[in-house]
Chains A and B, each alone.
Chain A
Amino acid sequence: DAKTTQPNSMESNEEEPVHLPCNHSTISGTDYIHWYRQLPSQGPEYVIHGLTSNVNNRMASLAIAEDRKSSTLILHRATLRDAAVYYCIRAGWGAQKLVFGQGTRLTINP
């Protein structure tokens, strides 16, 4: 049980922002929200993670709802290389195992 809900697929255009939603309505107070992405025939790649506050790094931004029941991964300016399956995962403190759901397959149109 991945305990998160994501749309199966999304489509966007190159150089436009992309907002990938994730629902985690049963999240516990100590669970972090992680995002990973997987390009074809590769292992997943870490994107970003957070607990309560919004987070930014060089790859993306993570906006977490105030009640923590949902979050949004924001790619500010999509490129063709951002086409991948994006996984939103709840994970507890420390080096916890990750439970992958089906993720969102993101297609970027040139």
Chain B
Amino acid sequence: GAVVSQHPSRVICKSGTSVKIECRSLDFQATTMFWYRQFPKQSLMLMATSNEGSKATYEQGVEKDKFLINHASLTLSTLTVTSAHPEDSSFYICSASVRGRGNQPQHFGDGTRLSIL
């Protein structure tokens, strides 16, 4: 089955640090990747949709200058949390799918737990 790898799985860093999270589709080409955030005991919230080679589309209330998304290839998207603060501590999850072939399921990474001290 389709595999999405997310790295790192856990990050602990000081306030003010920028953190980059990678999302790779290992055995398929992902024309679209999605980034979600999940706070404890809550559901997943979509942050942005990223199509290969174009700018990401951010959901309302998500700061595009704080959460930088790059989707330069069909197998890699990155999320950079710039100048992270404790309130950015969360579980970040990416997913990937293939556009244009009917209604395709999304394949999720195992998430990155970000803790800002």
Contacts and interface: CB of A to CB of B under 8 A. Distances in A.
Contact of A42 (B31, B49, B99, B110): B110
Interface residues of A, number: 26
Nearest to A87: B43
Nearest to B32: A95
Interface stretch (B12-20, B67-75, B78-86, B90-98): B90-98
B117 interface: no
B115 interface: no
Interface of B: 4, 6, 31-32, 34, 36, 43-46, 49, 91, 93-95, 97-100, 102-111, 113
Given A94-B102, A95-B98, A98-B34, 7 more contacts: A43-B6, A44-B93, A44-B108, A49-B103, A49-B105, A95-B100, A97-B34
